[in-house]
Amino acid sequence: MLAFTTTAGLAVAGPASAGYRPEHGSPCSPATNASSGTLGGTAGVSGLLCGQVGNGGFRGDKVTGAEGDDRGRGRGDHVNYSVPCSAQALIEAIKKANSSPGADILHLARRCTYKLTAPDAGNAPNGLPIITSDITIEGRDATITRDSSAPAFRILFVDSTGTLTLNKITISGGRATTLDCPLFPGEGTCGGGILNNGKMTVNRSRVINNISTSDIFAQGGGIDNSGTAAVCDTEVSGNTAEYTGPGTPFAVTGGGIVNDGPLTVDRSRVHHNTVRATADTGSLAEAPGIAAFANTLIKNTVISHNQASAPGGTARGALVNNAAPPATMTVIDTVIRDNTASAPGGLATGGGTTTNRTMTLTRTRIIDNHATAPDGGTVHGGGLTLGPTGQVTLISSAVHGNTASAPGGGTALGGGAANPSGGTLTIEQSHISKNTATAPGGGTARGGGVFTDVGLTTLKRSTVIGNSAGDGGGIFETSGTVTLDNTVVKRNTPNNCAPPNSVPGCTG
């Protein structure tokens, strides 16, 4: 399990402590679930691909009424249930499907809103019965939501024996407040909308406006995956993970999705999600979009307009990779844009993405993200930040228009990318452009395009153009190593590289 401590102003990987996530107490830990394997030809990632949807594509004999019947069971066929527009009918249909052998398909009433007014009897943290068998819910544009006046509960929980496929459905209004995380029971809240500890595929759906909140530890405002999951052609938006406690250094992570995996996100939108520490506690708020603690594959997805807020603490950007080896994060053909990490008087890192582990980004755009620390705080990386054991490879990608800002006399390092504490950053055939590091009020702003201190940064067949900072508008290198291989660094303000002669092959 990964924890973070603070060293020389940078939140870095350190020994596990109660100050971050509790120790995993379940045999279904990320070390077990996120074992080596392949997913879509990507080494080191194992799990479901979009398109592997279990029984979701089956169309057999349709059975009217929530009770259904057992036609076809002897032939190994699926049994279908048509569910009237009633929350109680949906509850009874799930119970029936759980208790019958084989796989089942529930056909919801088209565009119906199934409004849950109370938690499921005997399963108070959840609005619906726990999924313990193989069930597909054909939503037909229906919505399952918690009534705003109802007690707090999440919408869905998939147990370790369960397999759930959701098609064309909206999950909204869930509110997780119970300390029932499968990996650390009694020590945190997980999954405001959906908590998956089995196998789950979400297709052409929406997971919106859910919350996970706690005064101890909270994660996964929209979806919390501690099993195996795929999120496909789906919108995850308006979800929140919130820490409300007075203590330090407790934490909140994964406003939209948290993954203890493995997980695939493909052709989806993860936007306008939030993580926040509500008081000036010195706590950690990270990954308002997606937080990864296990193998994660993200493809053809937009991660945008997510916000992390940690007054006096540490705020990390929209996509955060904490997956310990041999697990990895792979990002392909994805846009990470207009996200914000804000830590007044604290530390803000990687408005777009922060990693302290192994991460590869291919044909990905990290654009117009912001990391800000007013009131004398520190910023590392408006777009991208590495921790001391981070290993990031950026291929055929763009880091453009990002901002690291520390108004009030603070320190802003790396408008585009920051490698401040010993990581390894490799940039190949990519463009670093129009990024800014700024510290109004007499502060320090270095490395408009790239900042490196202690770490190793290599740029191959790339460009660093039109970036700006107080010094080292293109690249600022302190005590690390920056290597340029067939790379152009020009038209940066006030200079291309600093200090003078620190980057071989860079002039001006």
Looking at residue 342, its amino acid is: S
Q: Is 159 helix (H, G, I), strand (E, B) or coil?
A: coil
Residues 437-488 pLDDT 10s: 999 999 999 999 999 999 999 999 999 999 999 999 999 999 989 999 999 9
Mean pLDDT across the chain, nearest whole number?
87
Residue 231 CB partners (closer than 8 Å, separation 6+): 201, 202, 223, 257, 263, 264, 265, 266, 268
- Angle, vertex CA 252, rays to CA 220 and CA 315, nearest 5: 120
Provide the pLDDT confidence category of residue 43 given band limits of 50, 70 and 90.
very low
Contact 410, 375 (CB under 8 A): yes
Region 302-307 average pLDDT? 99
- The C-alpha atoms of residue 309 and residue 313 are separated, in whole angstroms, by 9
Please check whether residue 182 is in contact with residue 219, taking contact to mean a CB–CB distance below 8 angstroms.
no
> Looking at residue 14, what is its pLDDT?
30
- Backbone dihedral region for residue 199 (phi beyond 0: left; psi -120 to 50: alpha; all else: beta): beta
| Residue-level pLDDT at 251 | 86
What confidence score (pLDDT) does residue 159 get? Answer: 97
57: how many CB neighbours lie within 10 A of its CB?
12
324 dihedral zone (left: phi>0; alpha: psi -120 to 50; beta): beta
Going from N- to C-terminal start, the domains of the chain cover 58-311, 316-501
Does position 6 have pLDDT exceeding 50, yes or no?
A: no
Confidence of residue 248 (pLDDT cuts 50, 70, 90): low
Residues 6+ apart with CB under 8 A from 451: 380, 381, 413, 414, 417, 418, 419, 420, 437, 472, 475, 476
78-116: pLDDT as tens digits: 789 999 999 999 999 999 999 988 999 999 999 999 999
At 21 the pLDDT is: 60
Cα–Cα distance measured from residue 256 to residue 271, given in angstroms and rounded to the nearest whole number: 8
Considering only CA atoms, which of 305, 334, 325 is closest in space to residue 236? 305
Query: 461-492: string of b/e by CB count within 10 Å (b at 16+)?
Result: ebbbbbbbbbbbbbbbbbebebebeebbbeeb
pLDDT tens digit string along 171-184?
Answer: 999 999 999 898 88
Residue 247: the pLDDT is 64
* DSSP 8-state symbol, 98: H
**Which distant-in-sequence residues (6+ apart) come within 8 Å of 386 by Cβ?**
354, 355, 356, 392, 418, 419, 420, 421, 423, 424, 425, 455
- Give residue 249's pLDDT band: very low, low, confident or very high (50, 70, 90): low
Percent of the chain residues past pLDDT 90, beyond the cut: 77
Q: Find the distance separating the first CA and the last CA of the chain, reported in whole Å.
A: 45
More confident residue, 334 or 39: 334
Query: Are 154 and 176 contacting, i.e. CB atoms less than 8 angstroms apart?
Result: yes
315, with CB counted inside 10 A (0-12, 13-18, 19+), is buried
So what's the pLDDT on residue 450?
99
| Local confidence band at 20 (pLDDT 50, 70, 90 cut-offs) | very low
Q: What is the mean pLDDT of residues 113-123?
A: 95
What pLDDT digit, counting tens, does each position of 49-69 carry? 887 544 433 222 233 333 343
Cα dist from 188 to 21, 74, 136, 195, 274, whole Å: 8, 43, 29, 13, 18
- pLDDT computed for residue 83 by the predictor: 98
What residues form DSSP beta bridges with 138? Answer: 107, 167
Q: Which residue is it, tokens 């169309």?
A: 59
Residue predicted with more confidence, 147 or 54: 147
Taking only the tens place, the pLDDT of each residue in 261-281 is: 899 999 999 999 999 998 777
Cα(261)–Cα(33) distance, integer angstroms: 6
Q: Which has the higher per-residue pLDDT, 28 or 233?
A: 233
Q: To which residue do tokens 């955060």 refer? A: 320
Q: Round the CA-based radius of gyration of the chain to a whole number and report it.
A: 23
